[in-house]
Copies of this chain bind each other. A is one copy, B any other.
Amino acid sequence: MSHQPNLSTNWKKKIHEVIYGTHTPAGKLFDIILLIVIVYSIIIVMLESVPWIDKNYHTFLNISEWIVTVLFTLEYILRIISIRKPRTYVFSFFGIVDLLSTLPKYLSLLFVGSQYLTAFRALRLLRVFRILKLARFVGASNNLARALSASKTKVLVFVFFIIVISVLLGTVMYIVEGPENGFNSIPHSVYWTIVTLTTVGYGDISPQTALGQFLASLIMIIGYGIIAVPTGIVSAEYTSEMNRRNAGTDNGRACRTCGTEVLRKDADFCRICGSNLNED
Known: A147-B232, A164-B122, A238-B236. A271 touches B262 (CB 8 A): no
* A72 sits at the interface (CB 8 A): no
A273–B276 Cα gap in the complex (Å)? Answer: 9
| A194, B217: Cβ atoms closer than 8 Å | yes
* A268 sits at the interface (CB 8 A): yes
Contact with B along A218-229 (1 / 0, CB 8 A): 001101110111
Contact with B along A130-167 (1 / 0, CB 8 A): 00000011001101100110000111011110101001
| B269, A185: Cβ atoms closer than 8 Å | no
| CB nearest neighbor in B for A230 | B228
Residues of B within 8 A of A153 (CB): 136-137, 140
| B268, A268: Cβ atoms closer than 8 Å | no
Residues of B within 8 A of A229 (CB): 144, 148, 234
* A50 sits at the interface (CB 8 A): yes
| B273, A269: Cβ atoms closer than 8 Å | yes
Interface hit among A1-9, A74-82, A253-261: A253-261
A side interface size, CB within 8 A: 114
* A94 sits at the interface (CB 8 A): no
* A90 sits at the interface (CB 8 A): no
Shortest CB-to-CB span from A65 to chain B, Å, is 13
Contact with B along A182-207 (1 / 0, CB 8 A): 00111111110011111111111010
24 contacts between A and B (CB under 8 A): A50-B186, A116-B175, A117-B171, A119-B167, A120-B171, A122-B164, A122-B167, A140-B154, A147-B232, A148-B229, A187-B210, A203-B204, A227-B230, A228-B231, A229-B234, A235-B235, A235-B238, A240-B242, A261-B266, A262-B266, A269-B273, A272-B272, A274-B275, A274-B276
Chain A positions within 8 Å of B, measured between CB atoms, are 42, 45-51, 113, 116-117, 119-120, 122-123, 125-126, 128-129, 136-137, 140-141, 143-144, 147-148, 153-155, 157-160, 162, 164, 167-168, 170-171, 174-175, 179, 184-191, 194-204, 206, 210, 213-214, 216-217, 220-221, 223-225, 227-244, 246-248, 258-276, 278
